Amino acid sequence: MKLIAFAAHTAPAEGQKDAISLANDVDPRTVPLEGVSRIDLNFPKFTDGRAFSQAFLLRRRLGFQGEIRATGDVLIDQLVQMQRSGFDVAVLREGVDASAAQRQFDRYKGFYQGDAVHVVPHFAEPASTLGPDAAAYAGELERQHSA
């Protein structure tokens, strides 16, 4: 995920065709996306999670291939979930210390549920990732049935 400092971000101009900005109560399915290469989604407060669903719909449902940029109250502790919801660029709020950002991406080996980018949930991934417990308990199940 690409991080942009607040000062380096410019909001799309009024009437601009290739980049647009959506308020977070807009249904992205009602917006014409032809010729659009960048969509800014806004977090008025970081506790307002509507833009996560907007990003999911744009990326997954509408197949939008361009840039989805997170703006507004963006914190580093939300970057991973932003990326998983379909954002690929985030504008850090002014004054946010980015030094801890990379640690957030390195921390988890994987997640349970599929998301907008990695569609397949953990349980549907190849059995080799399930670990030894699954085999042990499948064996126990068999033992119970045959007892």
Partner 1 sequence: MYQYTEFDKQFVRSRASQFRDQLERWQAGKLAEEEFRPLRLQNGWYVQRFAPMLRIAVPYGELNSAQLRVLATIARDYDHKEDNDLSKANPGLSDLKSLPSRCAHFTTRQNVQFNWIPLDKSADVMDLLASVNMHGIQTSGNCIRNTTSDERAGVAIDEVADPRPLAEIIRQWSTLHPEFAFLPRKFKIAITGATDDRAATAWHDVGLHVLKNEAGEIGFRVMVGGGMGRTPVVGTVIREFLPWNQILNYLEAVVRVYNRWGRRDNIYKARIKILVKAEGQRYIDEVEAEYQQILTHDGAPHTISQQELDRVSASFVVPASRVGTLPLSAMPIPTIDPADTNYPRWLARNVAPHKNPALRCVTLSFKRLGYSPGDATGEQLDIAADLADRYSAGEARVTHDQNLVLPWVRADELPALYAEAHAAGLAKANVRLLTDMIVCPGGDFCALANARSLPISEAISQRYQDLDELHDLGEIDVHMSGCINSCGHHHSAHIGILGVDKDGQEWYQVTLGGSDGSDLSGAAGAGKVVGPSFAAAEVPEVIEAVLDTYRSVRQSAGDKAETFIDTLRRVGHDPFKQAANAARTSTGRAAPQAATAA
Interface contacts to partner 1, rule CB under 8 A: 27, 46-50, 52-53, 56, 60-61, 75, 77-78, 80-82, 84-85, 97, 100, 103-104, 107-116, 119-124, 127, 129-134, 136-138, 140-141, 143-144, 147
CB of 93 to partner 1, least distance (A): 10
Task: Specify the residue, 21 or 53, whose C-beta has the smaller distance to partner 1.
Answer: 53
CB of 141 to partner 1, least distance (A): 4
CB of 30 to partner 1, least distance (A): 12
* Torsion, Cα of 138, 140, 142, 147 (10° steps): -170
CB of 14 to partner 1, least distance (A): 26
